Amino acid sequence: MSDITLSASVRGNLLSLQSTANLIGRTQDRLSSGLAISSPIDDAVKYFQAKSLSTRAGDLSERKDKIDQGISTLETVIEATEAIEDLTQQIKGIVDSARSGSKDERKEASSQLKELVTQIQRLVDDASYGGLNLINSSASTLSVRFSEKSDSKLDVNGVNLNVSKFFLNTAGVALGVEVTNATQIVDDLGFSDALSAYNLSQASVQAVFNSKADTVIKNLERTVTNLRSKAATVATNAAILSVRLDFTSEYVNVLQEGADKLTLADLNEEGANLLALQTRQQLGIQALSFAGQSEQAIIGLFR
């Protein structure tokens, strides 16, 4: 079958209509997807630039989640140290009040001291987050990475707050209090005997008891001071992580915005383009109709 021959004017109008239809299809795709560049075919340079920015934003988003978890781990430590300090302050108060207590009251005070020391150890054992306990061993470490660079990270070393290492004397040496040997706890804190064994009705014994109580209280104050210094270090590291979390969140937004600038379509502009293209399409159809009228005139010769 022979090819159909079109006049130059009809072919020109037809090609114009085809081009307009392609542009309308592209514009409709942009309006539906919101993307001006959705594949390398649209613009390879911009596409891969945007992909690189989006990939980095995704990688940093993963880091951001880990930073957030690191903050939660350190917040657990801070809450635990505050609770341990409260328990230690209770021990201090019991020792101080034992100066004026009766024998039975001091006997009860000994039991309370043993229970408080036991609770401190239990609190230390329970203060883990995500399987990591930073206060029951100095060998434990929290490592939070901020980026793909090997040195862009924060390492937080654990501390040993088990009661055997927690209670200190005025020289900063651990008293060696052991929860497993509850009968020795009072002695280990600084008394040479059970609290109820002292006859405080005798002035000389009262003086000895007061002296030992002063020593215990000083040891407890030294212990609390050491605890606060460790808690302050943890709080500083938590603040560092919080700053990095805020920075990473903003940085991810900047990267994503940069990628969007390269690929997103201007919906207002595309809407105006669609309206203009539809108008052009209608005009093209009319132009094609006009171009065909000259050929239709030939038919009149055969009538």
Helical segments of 98-181, H only: 103-126, 163-166
Q: Which residues, including other chains, have CB under 8 Å from residue 141's CB and lie 6 or more apart?
A: 155, 156, 157, 158
Distance, in Å, from the CA atom of 84 to the CA atom of 91, rounded to the nearest integer, reads: 11
* Six-digit token string for 146: 């901020």
Distance, in Å, from the CA atom of 111 to the CA atom of 242, rounded to the nearest integer, reads: 42
Residue in this structure with the two tokens 């072919």, named with its chain if needed: 11
pLDDT along the chain (303 residues), means of 10: 58 64 61 62 78 86 92 96 97 94 91 93 95 94 90 94 92 88 83 87 92 94 95 96 94 86 60 63 63 59 54
Distance, in Å, from the CA atom of 166 to the CA atom of 143, rounded to the nearest integer, reads: 24
Distance, in Å, from the CA atom of 52 to the CA atom of 255, rounded to the nearest integer, reads: 9
Taking CB atoms within 8 Å and a gap of at least 24, the contacts of 202-209 are 206/99, 209/98, 209/99
Distance, in Å, from the CA atom of 18 to the CA atom of 269, rounded to the nearest integer, reads: 22
* Six-digit token string for 291: 């171009």
Estimate to the nearest angstrom the gap between the alpha carbon of 9 and the chain centroid: 67
Interior angle at CA 28, CA 27 and CA 29, nearest 5 = 90
Distance, in Å, from the CA atom of 88 to the CA atom of 94, rounded to the nearest integer, reads: 10
Taking CB atoms within 8 Å and a gap of at least 24, the contacts of 109-118 are 109/195, 110/186, 110/194, 110/195, 110/196, 113/185, 113/186, 113/189, 113/195, 114/182, 114/185, 114/186, 116/87, 116/90, 116/91, 117/91, 117/163, 117/177, 117/179, 117/185, 118/179, 118/182
Instruction: Give me the numbers of helices (H) and strands (E) for the chain, helices first please.
Output: 7, 4
Distance, in Å, from the CA atom of 294 to the CA atom of 303, rounded to the nearest integer, reads: 16
Distance, in Å, from the CA atom of 199 to the CA atom of 209, rounded to the nearest integer, reads: 9
CB 135 within 8 A of CB 129: no
H or E stretch covering 64: helix 44-97
Distance, in Å, from the CA atom of 245 to the CA atom of 65, rounded to the nearest integer, reads: 9
* pTM (two decimals): 0.75
H or E stretch covering 156: strand 153-157
Helix (H, G, I), strand (E, B) or coil at 296: helix
